[in-house]
Structure 1
Amino acid sequence: MHRPALSSLHGSDPEIARLVEAEARRQFEKVRLIASENYVSPAVLEATGSVLTNKYSEGYPGRRYYEGQQNVDLVETLAVERARRLFGVEHANVQPYSGSPANLAVYLAFLNPGDTVLGMSLPMGGHLTHGWPVSATGRWFHAVRYGVRAGDGRIDLDEVRDLARKERPRLIWCGGTAVPRTIDFAAFAEIAREVGAVLAADIAHIAGLVAGGAHPSPVGHADVISTTTHKTLRGPRGAMVMSTAEHAAAIDKAVFPGLQGGPHDHTTAAIAVALHEAAAPEFAGYAHRVVANARALAGALLDRGFDLVSGGTDNHLILIDLTGKGVPGRPAAQALDRAGIELNHNTVPFDPRTPFDPSGLRIGTAAITTRGLAPADMPRIAAWLDRALAAHRDEAVLAAVAAEIREFLAGHPMPGWSPTP
């Protein structure tokens, strides 16, 4: 049963209600290892589904283009103040609709079309919006890309420095979507200062770990910080851009009116709730457990002969290279999903295969940690993954693993849904 209940939805549109309940049951019954997913609290769900979705609030608190903002202004102000306190930043904008628009706002605030940007290559672990050719950021700007070392899978800071000195970028990105190791914000900042570039830290994946003290913070090193509000932060599907006071006006102008109109006030409220939850002492314990689970899972996978990019992890994310297993990432991910293990296929550094059929798998521990799983449970997950992968064409084995997982997870409650009324 969905919590909060969907009684009105069941009465009005039972078809959609059934699909929502089916999705909730799927989330309950599977080991969810997608690194960009999590479970939000019932409070975040309630805020997301509140009457704030009825309001239109173009502008900023105290400077709106519509009337009736007395309550919405206070909601957004609370979200901004909580973001500033939690991350220790001078300025925060909580209006971006998602991570990609948040990153686009960084470009609009600091660059002109054709300017040079230095970002991590997508196959090496970067993000589309860090200048990859299929993104607008790779078409509208002169994008230069750095990668990782072939020997250890770590970011090659010597390459970053050499490229920065040669290309003189206006903007340098650090962070990405498949970076399993600690990001050296101080080293990136030194390079950015040397060439006079703006340093942008994309912490979408690790924001919750930064907030909980389980990963170093970019504050004091990066000029601007972008993040989504879900993933390890356990909030709704939204985003934020944070910066020093010096860049506040440019960031705000880039978000609105530069890129978007009215913010989604129900999402803003849910962000405020998530930030309030992340400021509680118990959230720091959660963030550290996420990392402990990832390290334990990485160790268990290594024990079973899996090849991990960089040899392990420092955060929530593990990148598996399946080249030695004889099965590509895409069919492996599909088979594992049928076995009750949800993850995504992913490119690995120097991957000879295409992004649509890559050699790797990306997994993360944020969601299973929310469900209460501990390091002692990670060898069991590694065993299920290994067993299902070895029998990826045997539907009977996959079904048996899925049944074992369902039985195991029945003892781990899921925020927002219960199998019983």
Structure 2
Amino acid sequence: MEKRELFRKYTGIFGILVLFAVGLFLFGRHERKEETVSRAPVARPVKTLVLSAPAARDVRTYPGKILASQRVDLAFRVSGPLVELPVRKAQNVAKGDLLARLDPRDFEIQLQNVKSTLANAQAQLAAMRAGARKEEVSALSSQLASSRARMEEAEAQYRRFERLYKEGAIAAAEFDRYKTAYEVSKATVNEASQELQKAKTGARPEDIQAMEATIRGLESSVKAAESALSDTELRAPFDGIVADRYVENFQSIQRDQPILALQDLKDLEVVISVPEQDLTRARSADAVTVQVRFENIPGKTFSATFKEVATQADPQTQTYPVTFRMPYPEELMVLPGMTVEVLLGFQSNATGDGGFVVPTEAVAAGEGTSHFLLVVDEPALTVRRVPVDVLSFRKEDAVVSGDLAPGTRVVVAGVSLLAEGEAVTLYAPEETPLPAAE
């Protein structure tokens, strides 16, 4: 019985070990399978360009929006109650026209006060430069003689009461009164003497310089007051149309508070969003034509010219805002915010003599002096090398020839990172050329 129980015990242990080994084997195979799957090659996204036929022009249509060439919110540089607002929305105004006015009374009073102070200071400076007249010198001399007489009388009273005070005949308060009168009389004589001396010799140079500095400060204050008074009027800085009014007449207006919006419609701006691939193709003004089409005038387009392009793409659409400028169409009423269609006509990348124009980064160096392009075979989406001859360079482009044909899709970026036969995906949308513009 004991041998049978030991046999059962060891048999159970052996079975558990076998099951554990089988589990490890199956788990290892599962991990190796997952590792094999995770290491499967991933198709690389690439930027491409489709070669077009000679003399063809690809036309792309983009939705656009009309903007004014100048847009500004006008505001006063001073505060005050609004007393005049003669313009209304959609009104045409000329440069210099009055758009709004504040109550000018407080600013007029301030200007008059500063001018009066300036005139007084200028009169004082003139008197300082001219010196005192003879009659003024005579009057000052008489005043000095009178002051000296009063001082001598006060001194005599002071000396007499000083002896009495020392003898104890009078109180200290009475003695102090005569002493104070004597000191005051001496100060009066000193002041009269200085005034007479000033009248005889004229004002000191430093006094004249100080008055001149005071006058310059007052002149600046006058200019500031005049500017403040002028700023109570809001005038049109250019010919345009009143797009909006933000306040009503008789409101209390604060400095820099927007009053109205003014737009210049002599020249219009059209803004569209362009994908990267089309920006790459339009490398110069000669490579693209721009036409603007309005929905209410079918069959007619208006020419526009390039103005600017944003250097940062929209994070949502990955497109770049491009702005064009066009003259105001006289036969239409066009306002900012209207939608239009913008037709971009791209020049063919074929040269007409068997060559094609491609970006220089699309051309890779082969063995020795050879070069090649990477062509995307569709629909398999794998790349293969096509040897080419570089005929010439045009700024950032290269003219190449080889086993190429219109409709061939070539890789234009990251060529050195790809190998022959490697699978790829198209980074940009399909670039099938549209019909040529008429």
TM range (shorter): under 0.3
TM-score, with structure 1 as normaliser? 0.20
Larger Rg: 2
Higher relative contact order (CA 8 A, sep 6+): 2
Greater helix proportion: 1
